[in-house]
Amino acid sequence: MQYFDAARTADRLDYPVLIPALRSGMATEASVPPRKHYALDEGTAEEAGATLLVMPAWNREFLGVKLVDVFPGNAARNLPALSSAYVLADGRTGEHLALIDGGELTRRRTVATAALGAALLSPEDARTHLIVGTGHIGGAVYDAYAAVRPHLSTTLVADPHNPAGARALAADLVRRGVNASPVEDLPSAVGRADLITTATLAREPVLRDEWITPGTHLDLIGSFRPEMHEVDPSLLGRATVFVDHPVALTEAGEIATALARGVLTEEDVAATLPELCARTTPRPREEGEITVFKTVGTGLTDLVAAVTVYTST
């Protein structure tokens, strides 16, 4: 069995390779059962909240499972709260083929999925990109988008929860020759942006509905629970909404709240990512249309990324 640590995993998941692989992989048949959560803290009070997540997926050729251990108590030990590995096997024989660093795999497939959403939905002539959130995921957004929208000329970086993080990420991009700047005036930055990507842990919306101007495309990465909101749910009432997977309708706060308030109906959700990927012609944008792509992450994107790691040379 081959082993891919974080560095070898990153080497094999260049965005110009991974994003097209996701695009074709999302349109092919696969089994992706719901992920399982196991609470591990019964009887071990010091590990309150410790959880094991098991996320399987398979197609005719490959079978994979992502294991994520979440140990919130690790903060006190100066260790990461999350530890993750992907085990890839042959789909015909079950033989194990590779053990892959789950953190790097998830980071790259997540920003690649959001960038794929932008490739399929955002205005071709988008020039100004606003990144909101500068953590593990937010820090990787720029590179994925550069692979699908090479004509972006300005990158604005915001992190209302951690302005120093925005300054650090923007400085890092500038060192790499990118026209990037940190922003603290979020309403004005949102007004300037053609394309917005959010990757935060926000519960209360960081982006207000009234700030979003006609013609903007948004990719929302952060929320994964009904109480988490990165944008005002009311925005979804005037936007065309897309999701990576229907589970986003119950798991993502913006969508769940918009549905509960009657701002959005399930029928209003225009398409899922597999449906968008199956299109043979680009989806035309209407004049002034606001589009929102919400990704919560799926086992299929993990499988496609793991197969890309294993099969790339």
Ligand X SMILES: NC(=O)c1ccc[n+]([C@@H]2O[C@H](COP(=O)([O-])OP(=O)(O)OC[C@H]3O[C@@H](n4cnc5c(N)ncnc54)[C@H](O)[C@@H]3O)[C@@H](O)[C@H]2O)c1
Which of 56, 133, 253, 299 lies at the binding interface for ligand X (CB under 6 A)? 133
**Quick check: 182 binds ligand X (CB under 6 A)?**
no
**Quick check: 83 binds ligand X (CB under 6 A)?**
no
Which of 91, 135, 191, 237 lies at the binding interface for ligand X (CB under 6 A)? 135
**Quick check: 130 binds ligand X (CB under 6 A)?**
no
Instruction: Tell me the CA distances in angstroms from 252 to 59, 140, 181, 228, 238, one per residue in order.
Output: 27, 21, 29, 7, 18
Of 36-44, 93-101, 161-169, 180-188, the segment contacting ligand X by CB under 6 A is 161-169
Total of chain residues touching ligand X, rule CB under 6 A: 25
**Quick check: 297 binds ligand X (CB under 6 A)?**
yes
Site for ligand X in 217-246 (CB under 6 A): 221-222, 224
Of the pair 75, 201, the CB lying nearest ligand X is at: 201
Which of 59, 134, 155, 308 lies at the binding interface for ligand X (CB under 6 A)? 134
Of the pair 154, 162, the CB lying nearest ligand X is at: 162
**Quick check: 201 binds ligand X (CB under 6 A)?**
yes
Instruction: Tell me the CA distances in angstroms from 140 to 10, 112, 244, 295, one per residue in order.
Output: 11, 9, 19, 16
Residues contributing to the site for ligand X (CB under 6 A): 106, 110, 133-138, 159-162, 165, 199-203, 206, 221-222, 224, 295-297
